[in-house]
A = this chain, B = another copy of it.
Amino acid sequence: MATIKDIADRLGIAVSTVSKGLNGANDISEDLRQLVLDTAVEMGYTTKKMRKVEHRKLCVFIENMDYDTNEQFGYDVILGFKQAAIQEKWDVDVVSITPELQIAERYSTYMLKNGYTGAFLIGIALGDEWMEQIATTTIPTVLFDNHVPKNLNVGYVGTDNYEGIDLAIDYLSDLGHTKIALLNGSDGSLVSEQRLDAYMESMHNHGLPVDENLTAFGFYVADCAKYYVPDFLDRGATAILCSSDLIAQGAIAECQKRGLLVPEDISVIGFDDLPVAARMTPPLTTIRQDRCELGKSAYHTLSCLVRHVSISKTLMRAQLIRRNSTGICTR
């Protein structure tokens, strides 16, 4: 477990200031106090006061997603959730789940056995056992990027994919691109479906031709680019919009392998704005999802459901972050 000194070192402030922040002293600013608390949560430090939770426990279940370091999508989502939850004196466990676990034990049984009041599920697949159970669950449950109809106990938190995709196509269209390809994530996920819909709608609204051969479902890994990018290039695409930064990284590599320069010959846009996006060569233009705020909003939505306030959806704005992987269309 981190010590007060670890927190002080990380923030570059005195140990006594950290102590003031943790103990609610009046002579430090509210912003600094919050920063100290947030950092303490991130580093796994807890005060006695924080630990006094009186059996108030929430669970974050995560599947199909990495969250060990802040380079990975899940890290900040979970961090934001915990930061918000701990402020309201909830204890939060994070549990990795597998299809096997879901078959071995029902969702409600697992929740009750472990004394969880509610849960936040990240990365769960549509076909998973628990998804069917969650459709009718009475346990307050928030799904990241997944929606369950007509259940007052279940909420959905995500980024507005329609606006995100539209921002990207707007920008590419301004740069003169008309042959814009979409290299999507996995088929059969709500988010991939929304992004394809959004692409079709936005291309149409911009008066751009829709060529279905310029869209493909891939996977959320860089490696998938090699299966689709060569064909997009052969068909004359001058820009590739990718459903994640990692896919975009693979797409750039694939273009470069064929001797094409990014952005001179082809523009590439990612999705997420993971830390790696800014470090790529060239630095990646991407659609940002604010993962920490997504986590905080998920906590807020869950806390409403716990109080029988039935929020169905909380959607965050997407933002286009313009870097150097996009340029004027020269063809």
Interface residues of A (CB under 8 A from B): 149-150, 152, 160, 163, 166-167, 290, 293, 296-297, 300, 304, 309-317, 319
**Docked pose: A152 CA to B311 CA in angstroms:** 21
**Docked pose: A255 CA to B91 CA in angstroms:** 57
Contact of A309 among B167, B293, B304 (CB under 8 A): B293
**Docked pose: A149 CA to B314 CA in angstroms:** 16
A304 CB contacts on chain B under 8 angstroms = 297
- Is B310 a contact of A313 with CB atoms below 8 Å? no
Asked if A312 meets B311 with Cβ closer than 8 Å, knowing A150-B163, A163-B149, the reply is no
**Docked pose: A309 CA to B166 CA in angstroms:** 20
**Docked pose: A38 CA to B225 CA in angstroms:** 56
A160 CB contacts on chain B under 8 angstroms = 312-313
A80 CB → nearest B CB, Å: 10
**Docked pose: A311 CA to B304 CA in angstroms:** 16
Residue of B nearest to A296 (CB): B309
- Is A314 a contact of B313 with CB atoms below 8 Å? yes
A296 CB contacts on chain B under 8 angstroms = 309
A309 CB contacts on chain B under 8 angstroms = 290, 293, 296-297, 316
- Is A315 a contact of B313 with CB atoms below 8 Å? yes
A306 CB → nearest B CB, Å: 13
**Docked pose: A167 CA to B151 CA in angstroms:** 11
A166 CB contacts on chain B under 8 angstroms = 149-150
Contact of A310 among B300, B310, B317 (CB under 8 A): B317
Residue of B nearest to A320 (CB): B150
A312 CB contacts on chain B under 8 angstroms = 160, 163, 315-317
- Is A311 a contact of B297 with CB atoms below 8 Å? yes
**Docked pose: A189 CA to B3 CA in angstroms:** 56
